[in-house]
Structure 1
Amino acid sequence: MKRAAGLLAALALAASCAPLPEFPAPPVPQASDSAGYLDAEAIAALAARTPLPPASGSAQAQADRAALEALLARASPQRVLLAQTHAEVRPALAVQHFDCTLGTRLAADPPPALLRLMTRTLRDASAASEAAKARGHRARPIAEGFEPCIRADDALRASASHPSGHATIGALWGRIVAELAPDRAGEARRIGQEIGHSRAVCALHYPADVAAGQALGEALFDALLRDQTFRADLEAARVELAEARARGLTSPGCAAEDYALRPAG
């Protein structure tokens, strides 16, 4: 444990001297984009069921801001570093978010069916979250004076905060990995939720935005289970993931991740 703490302390020191990392935003599919599993009607229906953001200046919005301030006050440097890592949602790299949960190392050679699942569901999640954002614009915390933990360009600063697209895809991927590895289902869903929580740790979303995104991700998974192509890809990924786990590879970052996710205090 002392070794993990020392590693994280060194990383935190290095991060304090380095420029903030920058990650590309998730793709925003156009109406004609057919790369996902779900059609436009299904996406629109899911977006329509997503709660609207709190009204600006309302008691709910003020409570949400206070909740973010409290979260940021107790976030450790190690948790901030993990939040920076969670900002990466390009599937070929984002598979590593689940390495420690699965006891393997996926990014070096991502299983093709799993990569296909993550790529196509990223499209669905991006389309659904963008459609939900269009129903009512809420400014991001970084547009209200909070400092982000990654570099944020003008487009990110101006984009809507509610619901969180990263929280949507995190919850969705957590459900997918839980389905693929039932023996690690609870842990997989937890990491999927933490990907969303990381967006609040990075001051890119308020807690209510994260909760709405996570609920949308859960609803997306339920909708996807009714799609035959998705289910076929799920079964192919199940076989590949079992083979990857059987190789016995492990990630050197798991002790650090475990330390970062321990409750504060």
Structure 2
Amino acid sequence: MIRTKTIVILGLAALAAGCAATSRSAPTAAEARPVKELRPGILEGYLPLGGAPSSLAIVPPPPTAGSTAQARDDEAAKAAVAQIGGPRWKQAAEDAVLKFPEAAGTFSCAIGAPVSKTETPRLYMLLHRTLTDVGFSTYPTKTKYQRPRPFMVNGAPTCSPGDEPDLRKDGSYPSGHSAIGWGWALILAEAAPDRAAEILARGRAFGQSRVACNVHWLSDTEEGRVMAAATVARLHADATFEADLAAARSEIAAARAKGLAPSRDCAKEAAQLAGQ
């Protein structure tokens, strides 16, 4: 059991490659103790290790060579390689970053409010902790199958070359990045329901960035979304998660009432997502 936990923690560290150490967050009113760091920059989730639904029990094995499903993945990867260096590629490089505080602003434009430790501390904590919960959920299947990533097969570059040594050792299926992005989208759609369509569209695009980056197959991203939905459903049984979600909802409303601007360049993001 200890070895399994170590593999998962190391795997999530690879998922958040380049993650810088952050100061330990102070406990919120809804928590009985401070939130621990599992590794520098990776906070303890709301769920205990192994507490998320097991991906092995939910998602099927990855597509096999010569299958229709693999042919579909190959076509998507080919289309992504054709866009290398373009606007969508540049957005994929930005979406590859999972370290905090940078990653906190991923959905800022979608929710129409800033996301930071100063302006929205409970929302910031909610995103930081659920990264761990949702990311961990993919690892039983990642570890079992160790599916090679597209760049390892087609030899084309990725949008995050500095991550490649770690990615080569980290199974492609299902996509942890895509799971995290979709998990955040589901959570934020509850925190800002009036912006649900924009938030969910951004969550889907975040997963698609992994295909655009040439580091994940299309099916990796799709099954990542399945694991996100399963994990978020489980999180709703956790009282601290529910308290932070309610607080995040209030913080978003307050930030909007103050007229605070999103923490990202929304025009640039929209243009890059559209491939312009």
Taking structure 2 as the reference length, the TM-score comes to 0.78
Of residues 198, 223, 227, the one that matches 1:212 is: 223
Secondary structure of the 2:173 match is coil
Alignment deviations for residues 210-248 of structure 1 (CA, whole Å, 9 cap, x no partner): 111111112211111122221111111111221122221
* Percent identity for Structure 1 against Structure 2: 34
Give, in angstroms, the shift of residue 147 of structure 1: 1.3
Q: What does residue 272 of structure 2 align with?
A: 260
Whether 1:131 and 2:118 are equivalent positions in the alignment is no
Which portions of structure 1, spanning 4 or more consecutive aligned residues, are displaced by more than 4 angstroms?
A: 25-30
Higher helix residue share: 1
2:197, 2:239 → 1: CA distance?
25
Bigger mean CA deviation after superposition, 157-166 or 56-65: 56-65
Of residues 76, 92, 103, the one that matches 1:67 is: 76
Whether 1:179 and 2:173 are equivalent positions in the alignment is no
Give, in angstroms, the shift of residue 48 of structure 1: 2.3
Give, in angstroms, the shift of residue 24 of structure 1: 2.3
Of residues 145, 164, 170, the one that matches 1:159 is: 170
Opposite residue 257 of structure 1, the aligned amino acid is E
Q: State the superposition RMSD in angstroms.
A: 2.8
1:181, 1:226 → 2: CA distance?
20
2:71, 2:97 → 1: CA distance?
29
Secondary structure of the 2:158 match is coil
Give, in angstroms, the shift of residue 51 of structure 1: 2.2
Give, in angstroms, the shift of residue 180 of structure 1: 0.5
Secondary structure of the 2:159 match is coil
When residues 256 and 106 of structure 1 are mapped into structure 2, their CA distance, relative to the original with a 3 A threshold, is same
Whether 1:247 and 2:247 are equivalent positions in the alignment is no
Contact 1:113 1:237 in 2 (8 A): yes
When residues 146 and 73 of structure 1 are mapped into structure 2, their CA distance, relative to the original with a 3 A threshold, is same
Structure 2 stretches lacking a partner, 5+ long? 1-15, 22-36
Opposite residue 184 of structure 1, the aligned amino acid is R
Opposite residue 178 of structure 1, the aligned amino acid is A
Opposite residue 203 of structure 2, the aligned amino acid is G
When residues 138 and 127 of structure 1 are mapped into structure 2, their CA distance, relative to the original with a 3 A threshold, is same
How many aligned residue pairs are there? 241
